[in-house]
Structure 1
Amino acid sequence: MTTPSALPDTARAVRFDRYGGRDVLQVQDVPMPQPGAGEVLVAVRAAGINPGEAMIRQGLLHDRLPATFPSGQGTDFAGTVAAIGDGVADSSVGDEVLGYSWKRSSHATHVVVPAGQVVPKPEGLPWEVAGALDVAGTTAWAVVRGIDPVAGETVAVSAATGGVGTLVVQLLVARGVHVLGIASARSAGWLADHGVTPVEYGPGLADRLRAAAPDGVDGFIDLFGPEYLHLAAELGVPADRTDTIVFSDAAAELGIRVSGAAALTEEEAPQVLQRLAGLLQEGAVEMPIAGTYPLDRVADAFEDLERRHSLGKIVLIA
Structure 2
Amino acid sequence: MMKAVLYDRYGGPDVLYLGRVPRPEPTVGEVLVKVQAFSVNGGELAARAGHLRLVDGRRFPKRVGLDFTGEVAAMGAGVTRLAVGDRVWGVLGRTSGFGSAAEYATVPAERVGRLPDGLDLVEAAALPVATTAITALRDKAGLRPGERLLVRGAAGGVGNAAVQLGRAYGAEVTALARAANLDFVRGLGAHKAVDHRTVRSAELGDFDVVLDTVGTDVRAYRRQLNPGGRMVTIAFDVKRPAASLGYVAASMVHGHGRVRLFSGNPTRAHFDDLARHVVEGKLSPAVDTVFPLEETAAAHRALEAGGVQGKYVVRVA
Provide the TM-score with structure 2 as the length reference: 0.87
Matched, 1:52 2:49: no
Aligned residue for 1:314? 312
**What SS does the aligned partner of 1:157 have?**
strand
- Which of 185, 193, 206 is 1:198 aligned to? 193
Moved over 6 A (4+): none
For residues 246 and 63 of structure 1, the distance between their equivalents in structure 2, rounded to whole angstroms, comes to: 17
- Which of 229, 246, 251 is 2:248 aligned to? 251
Matched, 1:91 2:89: no
CA contact (8 A) 2:66 2:100 kept: yes
Aligned residue for 1:114? 108
Q: Could you give the per-residue CA deviations for residues 17-48 of structure 1, whole angstroms, max 9, x where no partner exists?
A: 22111121111111121112222111111111
For residues 248 and 175 of structure 2, the distance between their equivalents in structure 1, rounded to whole angstroms, comes to: 21
Structure-2 change in CA distance of 1:28 and 1:275 (3 Å)? same
Structure-2 change in CA distance of 1:284 and 1:67 (3 Å)? farther
For residues 100 and 228 of structure 2, the distance between their equivalents in structure 1, rounded to whole angstroms, comes to: 35
CA displacement at 1:68 relative to structure 2: 3.5
CA contact (8 A) 2:125 2:313 kept: yes
Q: 29-38 vs 58-67, which deviates more? A: 58-67
For residues 88 and 276 of structure 1, the distance between their equivalents in structure 2, rounded to whole angstroms, comes to: 21
Q: Gaps (5+ residues) in structure 2?
A: 237-243, 253-258
CA displacement at 1:286 relative to structure 2: 1.4
For residues 235 and 165 of structure 2, the distance between their equivalents in structure 1, rounded to whole angstroms, comes to: 20
Structure-2 change in CA distance of 1:236 and 1:37 (3 Å)? closer
Percent same amino acid at aligned positions? Answer: 34
Structure-2 change in CA distance of 1:64 and 1:258 (3 Å)? farther
Aligned residue for 2:220? 231
**What SS does the aligned partner of 2:184 have?**
helix
For residues 193 and 296 of structure 1, the distance between their equivalents in structure 2, rounded to whole angstroms, comes to: 32
Matched AA of 2:132? T
Q: Could you give the per-residue CA deviations for residues 185-220 of structure 1, whole angstroms, max 9, x where no partner exists?
A: 22222332333111111243335413xxxxx32221
Structure-2 change in CA distance of 1:195 and 1:87 (3 Å)? closer
CA displacement at 1:123 relative to structure 2: 1.4
The correspondence of residues 25-104 of structure 1 with structure 2, limited to 5 A, is 25-66=16-57, 68-102=59-93, 103=96, 104=98
**What SS does the aligned partner of 2:118 have?**
coil
Matched AA of 1:139? T
The correspondence of residues 250-269 of structure 1 with structure 2, limited to 5 A, is 250-255=247-252, 256-262=259-265, 269=267
CA contact (8 A) 2:12 2:48 kept: yes
Structure-2 change in CA distance of 1:86 and 1:195 (3 Å)? closer
CA contact (8 A) 1:225 1:246 kept: yes
Q: 235-244 vs 151-160, which deviates more? A: 235-244
CA RMSD of aligned residues (A): 2.0
For residues 27 and 218 of structure 1, the distance between their equivalents in structure 2, rounded to whole angstroms, comes to: 46
Matched, 1:283 2:281: yes
Matched, 1:184 2:197: no
**What SS does the aligned partner of 1:63 have?**
helix
CA contact (8 A) 2:207 2:225 kept: yes
Provide the TM-score with structure 1 as the length reference: 0.87
CA displacement at 1:66 relative to structure 2: 4.1
Q: Work out the number of aligned pairs and report it.
A: 297
